[in-house]
């Protein structure tokens, strides 16, 4: 059974999503999802919201960011499975979200530090108001 992972304010996020559907009209797609449906990213203008499936065998996760699907990749976030028990996402606050497309990939590591799952990367389009 896969658990979901939240690394930010889940109640705030849910309320924001609900209100966005009511008050915001998006003219272009500003989100991306990989083919497996295991990694999803949405550009909210001042931040990127990432959601991904967790791996039951993982003890920690690394989130990487690039401006290209082929890299080079830089660590954007790191958290442990203990931090992942409350939900399904990570938020990166970045001014780059309005300037350019941003690509993300996630790696799940086991207790020995071995990468046990690498999620296919996504590129989230830049925010267009």
The Cα-based distances of 86 to 18, 70, 73 in angstroms read 19, 31, 27
Q: What SS3 state is found at 43? A: strand
Tell me if 57 sits within 8 A of 114, measured CB to CB.
Answer: no
The yes-or-no verdict on residue 53 having pLDDT over 60 is yes
Average pLDDT across the chain, whole number = 78
Number of Cβ within 10 Å of residue 10's Cβ equals 14
Question: Which two structure tokens, joined as six digits, stand for 9?
Answer: 């304010």
Chain centroid to CA 84: 13
Instruction: Give the pLDDT confidence score for residue 11 in this predicted structure.
Output: 32
Model pTM? 0.72
Q: Which residues contact 97 (CB under 8 A, 6 or more apart)?
A: 43, 44, 45, 46, 47, 48, 124, 126, 127
Whether residue 123 has pLDDT greater than 50: yes
């Amino acid at each position: 059974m896969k658990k979901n992972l939240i690394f930010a304010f889940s109640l705030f996020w849910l309320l924001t999503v609900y209100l966005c559907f009511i008050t915001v009209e998006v003219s272009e797609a500003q989100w991306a999802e990989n083919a497996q449906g295991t990694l999803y990213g949405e550009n909210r203008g001042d931040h990127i919201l990432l959601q991904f499936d967790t791996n039951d065998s993982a003890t920690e996760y690394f989130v990487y960011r690039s401006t290209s699907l082929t890299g080079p990749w830089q660590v954007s976030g790191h958290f442990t499975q203990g931090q992942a028990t409350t939900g399904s996402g990570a938020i990166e606050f970045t001014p780059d979200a309005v300037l350019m497309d941003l690509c993300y990939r996630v790696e799940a590591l086991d207790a020995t530090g071995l990468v046990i799952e690498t999620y296919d990367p996504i590129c989230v389009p830049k925010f267009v108001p």
